[in-house]
Amino acid sequence: MIGIISAMHDELAELLLILKNKKTTVLGNREYYTGTLHHKNVVIVFSKWGKVAAAITTTQLISSFHPSEIIFTGVAGAINQELNIGDIVYGTSLVQHDMDASPLFSKLEIPLLNKTYIETNSNVSLFNSVTHFQTSYFKHIPKKEAEEFGIQSPKIVKGIIASGDEFVSDAVSFNNIKNNIPNLQCVEMEGAAVAQVCYEYNIPFNIIRIISDKADHSAPIDFPVFTKKVASKYAKGILENYCS
């Protein structure tokens, strides 16, 4: 069974529409949707925002549904200034940008785990599904909707994703995070927590983030509209192909 997580309902709304044999299980004030995508068993859940919520959701998912792998998807703010709205970040490792237990541990290091960065699982098939989505982009996203957000030719970037319990929206926070984590691609609020849970439970984990804005808000957009109209179609297109 494949576990699929996002922070918000709208990020996976399109995927839920094509889920077959759907059954809903309520655990810990969250709805876990089980069913099939092209004959592959999946469980889909919305974690809510933040690292604690994401860790609770992931732990419950592993304990109750025993997934063979977990994939997180959703939107993120760009730190790499070469990223634009609509681009895809395929995470290679995750770090908590607000973790600081110094001087007992190095800044950003997870206490007692002896790790700062948690690597994702090597998954060629999933990355190929991301690439396939990119090359057939306008089969999934109407050009009118893409143009509404200035999306012309989205690119895929592999790299580091940072998580923290902070909605990064100003230049000071942006620069602090960027300076502390070299080669960082984007920032969000859940991925590193999910990665840590998966690491400790030895569950393969991958993450796909869609750039919805510049994290310093230099290029603001209508976030809810982007998530509903565009980001949810990314998840559907990529994961439907992956499960086929």
Residue 14 appears among annotated catalytic residues = no
Burial level of 177, CB count in 10 A (0-12/13-18/19+)? buried
CB 151 within 8 A of CB 87: no
Phi-psi sector, 86: left (phi>0), alpha (psi -120 to 50), beta: left
Q: Which of 14, 87, 188, 213 is flagged as catalytic?
A: 213
CB 218 within 8 A of CB 225: no
Dihedral sign for Cα 191, 244, 84, 226, please. negative
Q: Is the peptide bond before 220 cis (omega within 30 degrees of 0)?
A: no
Q: Which of 11, 87, 188, 216 is flagged as catalytic?
A: 11
H or E element at residue 118: strand 118-119
Residue 98 appears among annotated catalytic residues = no
Type of residue found at 206? N
Residues marked as catalytic: 11, 213
